[in-house]
Each structure stands twice: as C-alpha cells, then as structure tokens.
Structure 1
Amino acid sequence: MIELRDLTKSFRTPHGRKTLFRDVNAVFPEGKNIGILGRNGAGKSTLLRIMGGIDYPDRGRVITDQRISWPMGLSGGFQGSMTGRENAAFICGLHGMWGSARRQVLDRVQDFAEIGNYFDAPVKSYSSGMRSRLAFGLSIAVDFDWYLVDEVMSVGDAHFKHKCQEVIAEKRKTANFIIVAHSMSTLQKNCDVGIYLGPQGLELFDSIEGAIDLYQSNIPKKTTTQKTALAVN
C-alpha cells in the first residue's frame, strides 16, 4: 500500500514560490502498475523522488509498508569521484547486503549496464547515458516491492531499450511499477491504471486509457499557418 496524505510541495523560483502539490490525498491501488502523465513542470519526477525518499514534501507524508526503489535512471545521487563499482557497493551496504549477496548485485549491475571498463572508472567521467545505464542496472539488481521508473526507457540505443522492457516484464511477475513516460505506447504496454497531474491536482483513474485521454485533451492544439509563396517576375 502507498498512501499520499496531505502532501504539499513547492519550490522557490525567481518569480516567486511555485506550488506543485497542495494537500494531496491518494491511495494507490495494490497489485497494479501505475502510469503518471502530465505536462512538463507538473511535478511527475518530483512525485517519484518524494515516494523514493530522496526528496521531501513541505508537509504531509508518504505512508507505505512496501519497499520502494529510488527512481530508475536517476543518476544525480552518485558520488562522482567514486567508481561505478564503488557507488554500487555503497548502495548495497545501505540496504544491508554484504559478502556474496553484494558480489551478486555488483555482477548483475556490471552485466546489465554494459559500460565495460568504465564500471571501474570515476562516475564523473561518464556520459549522461552511461550514468542512466548504471542507475537502471543498480535499481533492477536490488529487489523491491515497487519500482519507480522515470523516462529511463528512452535512454540508449534500441538494444538497451529492449533490455529495459524485458527486465521490467520479468520484474512485473513479482513486483509493481510506477512509470513516468511521454510515450503513450510505453504506458499502455506496462500500466494498468493512470494518474494525471494537471490544474486540478492529482487525478487517479481506474485505467491507463482514462489518464491518457485527459492528458491528450489538455495538450494545446497547434495552429497551422499556411504561407503563400509569391513569384516575382
């Protein structure tokens, strides 16, 4: 069970304080994979970070008895001077994994990330794509009840995207996912229910299609301006 209780979150900007959520209350359905939609700046990634415990609300809280991952693809939490292996080992320690359990996780991360010798190089030397591969590999190598996915399936080449889809399909047999993506096909393929973050706040739908319909109905319509070319003789 995941419950948002009186959740409020705002940020200070040069133009004043921007409120993303105000007194949000919601209970996420158990045993369902959830897709989150909303325009850029609606707070999708912020909500994932709060649920993953790496950001904090102004007030209110997330109530759960489940193990929730950090957002897959989030690479900002790595220590740049440490290698990929050292960062992964540190995370293992935080989750109480030592000895053979830690070695198994490190092997899985290295195999999945496919960054070669860079696994033993400082993370500050990585490209953004390599950081995301490492973050995704580390997230999937640790067992959670809920996995948070933030646009990670758009990272990398077709081969890596296919690997992401395969491992998510496998993990869905024993765990659930909360996914932020701009690809409607990705959400339709992986999610059962939907959340739309919009002007009315957080709206929970019994189906992913309901959230997609509302999201698409709020996309500003583009106007087409036809230009007439004039020939000058």
Structure 2
Amino acid sequence: MIMVEKLCKDYPISHGRKMVLQDVSFTLRKGQKLGILGCNGAGKSTLIRLLGGVEKPTSGTVTSQMSVSWPLAFQGGIVGNLSGFDNLRFICRIYQVDFETAVAQVQDFSELGNYLYEPVKTYSSGMRARLAFAISMTVDFDCYLIDEISAVGDKRFNERFKKQLGDKTAQRSVIMVSHFYGVIKEYCELAAVLNSGILTLFDDVTDAIKYYEQVLLGKKITF
C-alpha cells in the first residue's frame, strides 16, 4: 500500500514561491493501477518525482509499504561518463539483480548494440531513453511509476515497450501520469485529474476522462 497524505510542493521564483501541488492525498493498494491526467505544466512529473523519492515534498507525507520504482525513463541516476554496461552493473548491485540475465535483457530490448559499451554521454536522447527503460524492466518492483510513456522513443520502440510494460505490471501496482487519456484508459482501472495543483479522484476512468476533457480542455467527447 502507498499512502499519500496532504502532499504539497512549491518552488522559489523571482517574485516569491509557486505552489505546484496542494494537499494531494490518495491511497493505492497492491495491484491497483492509477492513472493521473493533467495538462502540460499541471505538476504530474513533480508528483511522480516525489513518489519516487527523487525530490522531497514541501510538506505532507508519502508512506510506502511496498517497493516503488524510480520514475521510468528518469535519467538522473545514469552516469554519463560510464558506459550503459557499467551503469547497468551498478544498478544490478544495488537491487541484487542477476547481472548476466540483466545484460541479455538490456541488449535485446534496448537494441543499442556495441553502444552499450560506450559512455552514455555519447548517446542520443533516444538511445538514453531506450537504455533507461531497458534497465527499468530488469528490476522487479511492487509498484511502477510511469511518466508519459506515449512520448518515448520511435513508434516501433514505443509499441515494444508498451507490450513489455503490460507483461511486467500485470500483477503489480502502477501510478501513471499522462496528458493522453487513451494511454490511461488502456492501462489503468482508477483515475484522477490534476489541475492547478489539486488532485480530483474518480472511481471510474471514463468519468475522469470526461472531466479532463470538458473542464480542462473545453471539449465534449462520447464513448
């Protein structure tokens, strides 16, 4: 179970502080999949970073009783001067993953070829994304944090990632943020909308999509 209580986050700006998240609260049980919709700049990525422990909240708490992944595609933990191979070795040591098995999986999924043994700083942004996702799939977590998977890589890689992600998370919890409701509808059974730092929860994904479309985007859709 993950319990988020009155989570707030603000940042200093030139004329004071900007509130990004305001009293966000929800509970996610093991096996549940929660999709969070929000426009660009709504605070979705900030929320994912807080849940993953990449940043600390201004106030409020995140209490987890299960293992939680780093935000998938987050590249802040990848060392540019090291090769993809050595980055993978380091992560395998931290999470006690069999290295030989992980190397085979990353080589197959990332399709980096010999670049896996080159410094990550020489990679293109797409290559870094493929490495980050491939490494993410080698570690078993109880809950996976996913930020905008629809915007990652080329179409073919994105489809491969979606399939592997579906297999990997079939019996696990997911917290996914996106501004594309189709992705949320495909993967999630619960949904919420983040708007002006306030999170509104819905028991039905369709209701969340309607709220997102009608209230935030001024559109009317039918299902």
When the two structures are superposed, what TM-score results if normalisation uses the length of structure 2? 0.91
- Check conservation: 1:136, 1:152, Cα contact below 8 A: no
Task: Report Cα offsets for 1:142-172 as digits up to 9, x if no partner.
Answer: 1011111112332222221111121122123
- 1:186-219, CA deviations, whole angstroms, 9 ceiling, x for partnerless residues? 1111111101111371111112212211111233
Aligned to 1:126: 123
2:68 partner SS: coil
Q: Which residue of 1 aligns with 2:162?
A: 165
Q: Which residue of the partner structure matches residue 183 of structure 1?
A: 180
Q: Does residue 40 in structure 1 map to residue 37 in structure 2?
A: no
Secondary structure of 2:70 counterpart: coil
The equivalences for 1:143-154 within 5 A come to 143-154=140-151
C-alpha distance in 2, partners of 1:218/1:29?
Answer: 28
Structure 1 residues 40-189: aligned runs within 5 Å:
40-97=40-97, 101-189=98-186
- 1:230 corresponds in structure 2 to none
Deviation sequence 1:17-41 (CA, Å, 0-9, x none): 1111233322124422111111211
Higher relative contact order (CA 8 A, sep 6+): 2
Q: Say which is worse superposed, 151-160 or 47-56, in terms of deviation.
A: 151-160
Q: Distance in 2 between matches of 1:87 and 1:13?
A: 34
TM-score (norm 1): 0.87
Gap regions ≥5 residues in structure 1 = 223-233
Give identity over the alignment, percent.
Answer: 40
> Runs (4+) of structure 1 moved beyond 6 Å?
none
Partner of 2:6: 6
Cα displacement (A) at 1:70: 0.6
**Matched residue type, 2:16:** G
Bigger Cα Rg? 1
Q: CA deviation at 1:134?
A: 0.8
Residue 196 of structure 1 is matched in structure 2 by 193
State the AA in 2 paired with 1:156: G
Q: Distance in 2 between matches of 1:85 and 1:122?
A: 9
Alpha-carbon separation, structure 2, partners of 1:174 and 1:197: 26
135-144 or 31-40: which moved more?
A: 31-40
Asked if structure 2 preserves the Cα contact closer than 8 Å seen for 1:149 and 1:177, the reply is yes
Closer, same or farther in 2 for the Cα pair 1:220/1:176, shift >3 Å?
closer
Aligned residues: 219
Q: Which amino acid aligns with 1:7?
A: L
1:225 aligns to what? none
State the match for 1:226 in structure 2: none
CA distance in 2, matches of 1:107, 1:15: 51
Q: Distance in 1 between matches of 2:85 and 2:126?
A: 17
